Copies of this chain bind each other. A is one copy, B any other.
């Protein structure tokens, strides 16, 4: 299958290059909560863009990826600012992949529209997708052969256990999803998985099931996941996301410098944990 449009290099290769260049597993999540924007920006019509751009510029040296969360932009009627942000990353920080956190999931004809939204409208390099509706709801995204898809597997929230930890035969539902993603669903090596840092035993279990597949790991920082435990469990092929602990490191008008410092610190903690492996 060939790319419908765009980049030439596969997403996994782009991610590997970014891991190598930054020597970092850190991904900064862009979840711009309007209620938490610094006072000096809050009145600007493009406040969300301005805030995120400063965060991006201050943290780009320490990251392997950025992950904008589309819900914050959609609730604020700021899709244009999300377009501008992703464009800014691609222009000014070339080589850092953008993972659009959208968690879409729908039947084929509709999934195709969501894939267009993520990959063509926004130009994202990868997107998060919900697996509940099965393979035919994932397949349309694979038509963009140079892009990546991270399927929700074991999410970082407490309620993640409600369905994902259910016993299905001799395994749990999230293990079943991991096996499908590493097996017949992964036709062209475009898939990764979302596995929360808040459940390190389960992260380790997923790692044994999927080989060196990229794992997007939210839950460190504000959600309480432990960096050392996550690295021991998940190894090197991880995109470890932190959002709130970096975005709101100071809460004041020095937010960008504080975010840069927090990102550097987190990158260093991840490096140190890798060195102890």
By a beta-carbon cutoff of 8 Å, the part of chain A in contact with chain B is 31, 33, 69, 71-72, 74-75, 77, 79, 103-111, 113-114, 116-117, 120-121, 130-137, 152, 155-164, 166-169, 173, 176-177, 180
Contact = CB atoms under 8 A, between A and B. Distances in A.
A133 B107 CA distance: 19
A225 to B, nearest CB: 13
B121 A75 contact: yes
B160 A113 contact: no
A133 B155 contact: yes
Contacts of A180: 162
A134 B114 contact: no
A156 B160 CA distance: 24
Majority secondary structure, A binding face:
helix
B132 A131 contact: yes
A157 B107 contact: yes
B159 A136 contact: yes
A166 to B, nearest CB: 5
Given A77-B121, A133-B164, A134-B163, 11 more contacts: A71-B113, A71-B117, A74-B114, A77-B79, A103-B130, A130-B130, A130-B132, A132-B132, A133-B152, A134-B155, A136-B158
A107 B77 contact: no
Contacts of A176: 163, 166
A114 B72 CA distance: 8
Contacts of A108: 157
A116 B159 CA distance: 21
Most buried by B among A109, A121, A176: A109
Nearest to A133: B155
Contact of A131 (B71, B109, B163): B163
A162 B163 CA distance: 14
A231 to B, nearest CB: 22
A110 B71 contact: yes
